[in-house]
Structure 1
Amino acid sequence: MSYLNPLRLVFAGDFQADVSTVNNDVRIYDNTTFEDRFQELFVNAYPAGNPDIIYNGYWNPVGSGAFRIINSTVRGVYYQDGSSATTPINGDHSVGLYINGSNNRVGAKLVDLDPQWQSSSEIWGLTIRLSDSNGKDLLVGQFEPAPFRDLWLNRQQGNIADWDQPASAAFQSVLTHLQWATDLSQYRFLQELKEVTEAFQGENGMLSIMINTFAYKRDPKVNRFSLGRLVGAIGPYVPNEPHSVVIGRRMVPKILPNQNPLRHKINFFNGTVDQPSSSIFLDLGNALPFTIENENQNNEYIEMCDLGRLRLAVLCPQNETYPAEGDQVTKDHNFILLGNEIVYQYDQDPDWLNRTAGIWSTKIPEAYYPLVFNQPLALIQMIDNSNGTVLIRESENGLLVRADNFVNRVEPGNTIDVTLFAAQYGQPLPHANVIMSLATPEQEAGMPVDSKDHPLAPIPYTNIPAEAVIFPSSLTTHNQGKAILNIKTTDPNNPRGYIDGQIYQIIYLLDRQPSNQQHILDGAILLLFNTYQVPEQPTWLEHIQPIFQQYANLYPIMSKKLVDLSNYESVKTHRAILDLAFSLAPSDPNYMPVGRDLSDPKRTTILKWLRQKNSDGTYTLAYGSPSQQIVSPCKMTVPDQPISRSADKNISSPTRNYKNFK
């Protein structure tokens, strides 16, 4: 019972991602080779790909990191009895409610785990509010920090302006600490949602939420700079389900040899079978390509690309083999249709994506129930009433394994548990063997652009030393199809030199599951910090300035608007506000640093320095002597063996594929 549920609301609108882009290139993290121009906007950047571009700090060097939901409203509500409404009706004014962020604190933050893993940007500190036209809150919840998934690089088709972002991705999470208005008598949907939530979980329940983001503008010359479109859904959450992923029916595009694995004609997407309502639900919100032909409009209506007449079907085996993507198939021989045509085309329903968030459902005829639970589903591109082509189909043998809490920041010596969920044709898969392996060392990650003006620092390798992460090579799921991947860690010993810690990607697959059935960015991702000893007496020159200098370089908005972290006197003047920001919980949007990339011992050192007092009660803020300021050459770990690479760099580096999506 995730948001893919008979009981759900859908919303649509805009989002703002005012991210800083100075940290797009890992080489900029090196304090010793940093140049002032890295805090400036790119030069000669049109058209994109111009060899004379001077990239500097890319397209938004003074970004604040803020993530905001704006101009968003409820576009449809779907009730438990199967009925729905897309306009306010008697007894329910839920349609038209505003979806807002917090009104009593700063906006949420969108941050990367690391410059060498920009493929799972996370939303931190987001409040979701449903309010009426008078600003009265009817439902408030806290968005549990979550990264995006199912990145798709080429979703936007057609006429794409320079520096438009053609990629899209989806954020799935839960809303916690729910606050309901005392009087919901005019909001039938919210009443039903509250009753179901409390019936399953009591008063401290949670809700499931999905946010799909796309059509983002990176051109600082256009009115919609830093804005994009979103559609989403909110529905019930049932205990023991994952928070950030749907474990159901997984549709997998066919990846051809030498094909960029993040570029498809249709993207990975999920579905579920809801047994109480005898229905199938598909989430196409991040699955179908679109185009924006009129750039003078506000992108309210997204025109879905015409993929023909689409029908959901159950595939039938021929000689124990099911049809593959691209195969020509015939009704009742190769497939059995389920439900009516999916009407997504702009000329038939221009508001389809906004009104449905891309969620489509149909009842399952009782006679087909055994087929649905034992044979793969597919979308058929109909040629006529009886024949068609398999556009995309469910994973081989209906197999699926995905991690829930897959992005983690870890102190050396600590252990992290990542929960894996396995299923077959949507049902929990017990006693399944899950195979784990560490990704190969990668150097291209975090170097998004090769240019004549690139930073001078060397590029570190990721995933080394391998012995710093210890995990089993295989696991067996228990009766509910779950397994816990226990990852032990040790000190990686500063393998990247000028940037703290190391990035590790642990890849998982079900035994005998082909690797091309998994999204290339699926895995357990760790930022493992270096060991750091908290000094007895921290000083500015030896301990604080090297840390603060890096943040001053990476986030120029701080020095321009608040405090120059590279300057002792400026830091001294703003001691109190820095103490507050560094002492907040990471989930607080005011937490510092915005990137959540500071190890606990270093944060403890900073707070210790900010809080130490003299005997007269004044703050010490020890400066230290110039002899303590050490600037040493960068030393990095390199692999013992040379790394073989594909001729196609876009395939060899999943992180490079990200292409500044944030």
Structure 2
Amino acid sequence: MSYFDPPRIHFGGKFFTDPSTVNNDPTHYEAKNTTPSPWQNPNGQHRYQLRSCMVTSAVDENGDVSGDPIIGSTVETTDQPSTAKIADLDVYQQSVPTIYGMQIKITLADGSSIVGTMDPAALNQVWFNAVLPTRSWEGGDYVQDSFGGDMNACGWYQSVVRFQVADWPETSSAILQKLRETTMMEDGAYLVSIKFVMDGYENVPQDSNYQLGRIVGTLGPVFQNEPRHNPGHRWMAARQWADTDPWNYPSFMDSPFKVDVNRKKLILDLANSICRKTAGGAPVDLGTLTAVATTPDPVVVELGPIDYSEFTYNGHAAITELDLSDGQLDVLQSASLSLVMSKTDIGDPKVLLEAESKVNFAAEIRPIRMMGDPGTTATTTVYISNNGAPFAGKQLNVHIESVKGTTPGATVPPTNPGNTPQVDGALTATITPSDENGFATVTLNVLKDPGQRTSELDGQLYFVILYDPDVTYPDWTKVPPAQNQVVSVIVWAQYAIDENPSWDKIQGLFEPYMKLFPYMKGQIDMTDQHTFNVFMMNPPWSQVYGDIPAGPLGINAGAIPYYMSRDFDDPMFMPVTRDLSPNKIMTIMHYIKNMQSAPPSSESQNKKA
């Protein structure tokens, strides 16, 4: 299933991203805050690119492949039709940034290549203590290294890459050919599972590696009726961390694994699970790391040592395989897996442990945006497994938590209010029992207008928490639930489309965007009427963008309406931050259509809304 299965291709290198940072602070969404602090990258463009990436290894059903021309091939983003974009869901939820429109090209040494586009993917299981601390305060632990910030963070993305038939020609690589033959097709395209882990991101402008980080990833086949944004196998939970732990106790994060019965292998993905010595560096020294199976009796069976080296991290994306005997394979069908380190001076040696129940579940699409009109609905699916297999007929429950500064999992200081006055009762959620393939459907329904948190922060953020009624959970008001079991939902405020808006209204819609995304203001100042008029009228689409259909209301001219009418998942969509509701965008379109039908005077009449 997915990237765990052969044929498997591993790659690694650097990633580049430059999100704007002005919109990271909720106080910047106050109209009275006309001079927001810039943070480290006010002119960021929200681009996302792979840099200096190459295929480092490949695995088939017999193990590592040597001599295949895929090894050493370049893996790059094409920046076509535009550079991929990355954007947060909301200032109160910055842990699910989504990558849109990432086109990937793999080029062999002979010049042959394949090109595909990744479905939008959201960050998962991000943790901010993935680097061993390098200092400690007396009386308490600092719990981050001396550099701080995003350098300590680590997280993963999983999605599918769609390769059109014409973009995957025959190549000299047998492993690529095998992958093409193995994976499924959908809508005329080959689907390839992709999972990548990012860490060591440098966000200090004075550093030579500014806006760069480390990336390792894996490509593998896609099969019918499997999750596409989650591994879908068995999981080990990380040992608990306490703020009373000494500074040199490393932290850990949950790890997926698969028991491959046909190949008699235990396959572990540790890329996002073991603390690093330094940002983007080697894993901490755990001594010998041993895989152990414990039966309910309990009987403890050692399975063998696990390779968690830096070489395996960079060369195999930290996916390691362990051969299993028939007896070990049989034990693992009912036993719980754990990883135990030989070092005894850095906390509990059992660093990763599978729960006895072996029931796992995760939401597929976790960031969702909805209009605040009563009756608006949206859905997402949840994959539920039991002992690594689809769990049919399982009923989960849902709990809705409106997000404020004190909500566990919110990405703002606790002093920020968050909630709108009419937050309660605006959103409901239901979930079906899982079907024969393990999928349950969550349906979200807007009952009333949630309002706005400020005049510049639209709508309300909700955490829709999935939970198993047969399990006891920590208090969610104190401890955040697992990230892959939370659907983050923005319900925009109800907004009636104005078919005859004034310039003052249009200017007012764009003022927060220009303030919070300064780069755009440097390109086209949407709050200047003369500039807006020029770019809403020009150019004719056919002259610049080719033979494309007219946009909303029959509009077929103007750069502004062109970019604002792109598909939401298109990397060219504007606003890049994706925080204007559809009805506000349509109000802008009506203004443009009206002005194009009766062109305004060229004289600027700038007014403040």
Q: TM-score range by the shorter chain?
A: 0.7 to 0.9
CA contact (8 A) 2:238 2:255 kept: no
Gap change, CA 1:137 and 1:518, over 3 Å in 2: farther
1:471 matched residue in structure 2:
429
Distance 1:224 1:156 in 2: 18
Cα distance in 1 between the residues matched to 2:101 and 2:56: 25
Residue 64 and residue 362 in structure 1: after superposition, are their counterparts in 2 closer, same or farther (change >3 A)? same
Deviations along 1:167-193, one digit per CA (max 9) or x if unpaired, are 100001111243566653421111111
Shift of the alpha carbon at 1:120? 0.7
CA offsets per residue over residues 137-168 of structure 1, 9 Å max, x none? 52211111111111111112255453452010
Q: How far apart, CA to CA, are the structure 2 residues paired with 1:201 and 1:171?
A: 21
Contact 1:140 1:180 in 2 (8 A): no
Instruction: Give the SS at the match of 1:360.
Output: strand
The equivalent position to 1:564 in structure 2, one of 484, 508, 525, is 525
- The alpha-carbon deviation at position 614 of structure 1 amounts to 6.0
- Deviation string, structure 1 residues 184-219 (Cα, Å, up to 9, x no partner): 342111111111125x76952311000100001111
| CA shift for structure 1 position 557 | 0.8
Q: For residue 236 of structure 2, what is the aligned residue in structure 1?
A: 251
- Alignment partner of 1:573 is 2:534: yes
Aligned to 2:521, the other structure's residue is in SS state helix
CA contact (8 A) 1:492 1:502 kept: no
Q: Provide the residue aligned with 2:138 in structure 1.
A: none
Deviation at 1:80, TM superposition (A): 2.8
The equivalent residue for 1:188 is 174
Distance change (3 Å), C-alpha of 1:124 and 1:312 = same
In 1, the alpha carbon distance for the partners of 2:293 and 2:559 equals 60
1:607 corresponds to: 589
Instruction: Give the Cα separation in 1 of the matches to 2:602 and 2:462.
Output: 36
Query: Structure 1 residue 144 and structure 2 residue 119: aligned?
Result: yes
Q: Distance in 2 between matches of 1:96 and 1:410?
A: 44
Q: Aligned to 2:500, which of 517, 521, 537?
A: 537
2:509 corresponds to which of 536, 547, 560: 547
Matching residue within 255, 264, 267 for 2:253: 267
- What amino acid maps onto 1:341 in structure 2? P
Q: Please, what is the CA RMSD of the aligned residues? A: 2.9
Change (3 A) 1:518 1:285: same
Question: Alignment partner of 1:212: what SS?
Answer: strand
Matched, 1:310 2:289: yes
Distance apart, 1:566 and its partner CA: 2.0
| Distance of 2:602 and 2:235 partners within structure 1 | 56
1:78 maps to a residue whose letter is V
TM-score by length of 1: 0.79
Shift of residue 567 of structure 1?
A: 1.5
Specify the alignment match of 2:41 in structure 1: 60
Change (3 A) 1:518 1:59: same
Other-structure match for 2:33: 34
Q: Provide TM-score, normalisation by structure 2.
A: 0.85
Mapping 1:467-506, distance limit 5 Å: 467-472=425-430, 475-498=432-455, 499-506=457-464
Between the aligned partners of 2:439 and 2:291, the Cα distance in structure 1 is 29
Counterpart pick for 1:380 among 313, 330, 340: 340
Deviations 1:10-35 (A, max 9, x none): 001001110100000122122x2123
Partner Cα distance (2:112, 2:99) in 1 = 22
Q: 1:304 to 1:256 in 2, by over 3 A?
A: closer
Q: Tell me, in whole angstroms, the C-alpha distance in 1 between the residues paired with 2:434 and 2:306.
A: 36
More deviation in 18-27 or 273-282? 273-282
Q: 1:245-644 alignment to 2 at 5 Å? A: 245-255=230-240, 265-292=251-278, 302-318=281-297, 333=299, 335-338=300-303, 340-345=304-309, 350-382=310-342, 389-412=349-372, 413-439=375-401, 441-444=403-406, 448=412, 459-461=417-419, 465-472=423-430, 475-498=432-455, 499-515=457-473, 519-520=482-483, 522-542=485-505, 544-560=506-522, 562-575=523-536, 576-613=558-595, 618=599
Listed one character per residue, the Cα deviations across residues 372-391 of structure 1 (whole Å, up to 9, x for unaligned) are: 1222111122469xxx9422
Question: Do the aligned partners of residues 219 and 248 (structure 1) sit closer, same or farther apart at CA in structure 2, a change above 3 Å counting?
Answer: same
- The 1-side partners of 2:163 and 2:483 are apart by 34
- Name the CA distance, whole Å, in 2 between partners of 1:621 and 1:533: 29
Deviation of 1:621 (Å): 10
> Quick check: 104-113 or 272-281, which moved more?
272-281
1:99 equivalent to 2:75? Answer yes
Task: Return the offset for 1:371.
Answer: 2.4
What is the number of equivalent residue pairs in this alignment?
561
How has the CA–CA distance of structure 1 residues 57 and 448 changed in structure 2, closer, same or farther, with 3 Å as cutoff? farther
In 2, Cα distance between equivalents of 1:433 and 1:230: 37
Tell me what 2:197 maps to: 212
Contact 1:314 1:377 in 2 (8 A): yes
Task: Find the residue that maps to 2:357 and give its secondary structure.
Answer: helix
Runs of at least 5 residues in structure 1 that lack an aligned partner in the other structure? 39-55, 294-298, 323-332, 452-457, 631-662
Instruction: Give, in angstroms, the shift of residue 337 of structure 1.
Output: 2.2
List per-residue Cα deviations over 1:390-409 (Å, max 9, x = no partner): 22111241121111112111
Letter in 2 for 1:343: D
Counterpart for residue 126 of structure 1: 102
Structure number with greater CO (CA < 8 Å, separation at least 6) is: 1
C-alpha change, 1:556 and 1:449, in structure 2 (3 Å) is same
Question: For residues 36-85 of structure 1, what are the alpha-carbon distances to aligned partners after superposition, in whole Å with 9 as ceiling and x for unaligned?
Answer: 3x2xxxxxxxxxxxxxxxxx221111111111111100000111333423
Q: 1:266/1:610 Cα in 2 relative to 1: closer, same or farther (>3 Å)? A: same
Residue 441 of structure 1: how far off its partner (Å): 4.7
User: 1:121·1:147 contact (CA, 8 Å) conserved in 2?
Assistant: yes
**Separation (CA, whole Å) in 2 of partners of 1:521 and 1:235:** 21
Amino acid at match of 1:484: T
Does the Cα contact within 8 Å between 1:493 and 1:531 map onto a contact in 2? Answer: yes
Preserved contact between residue 142 and residue 178 of structure 1 (Cα < 8 Å) = no
Aligned to 1:81: 62
Partner of 1:648: none
1:118 alignment partner AA: Q
Distance 1:133 1:190, change over 3 A: same
Do the aligned partners of residues 535 and 185 (structure 1) sit closer, same or farther apart at CA in structure 2, a change above 3 Å counting? Answer: closer
The answer to whether the Cα contact below 8 Å between 1:465 and 1:495 also exists between their aligned partners in 2 is no
Cα gap change, 1:83/1:497 in structure 2, threshold over 3 Å: closer, same or farther? closer
Local SS of the residue matching 2:4? coil
Distance 1:443 1:303, change over 3 A: closer
Pair 1:505–1:192, CA change in 2 (3 A): same
Q: Is the 8 A contact 2:21 2:40 kept in 1?
A: yes
Q: Which amino acid aligns with 1:303?
A: A
1:70 aligns with 2:68: no
Paired residues of 2:98 and 2:123 also in contact (CA < 8 A)? yes
Aligned partner of residue 183 in structure 2, secondary structure: helix
Displacement of 1:514 in angstroms is 3.3
Gaps of 5+ in 2: 135-144, 475-479, 537-557
Secondary structure class of the residue paired with 1:550:
helix
TM-fit CA distance, 1:479 = 2.9
Kept in 2, the 8 Å contact 1:212–1:230? The answer is yes
Identity among equivalent pairs (%): 23
Question: 1-side partners of 2:411 and 2:422: how far apart?
Answer: 18
Identify if the C-alpha distance between structure 1 residues 273 and 178 changes in structure 2 by more than 3 Å, giving closer, same or farther.
farther
Aligned equivalent of 2:142: none
> In the TM superposition, what whole-angstrom CA distance separates every residue of 1:454-508 from its partner, at most 9, and x where no partner exists?
xxxx743279623111223x64323332211111113334141321111111111
* 8 A contact 2:530–2:605 mirrored in 1: no
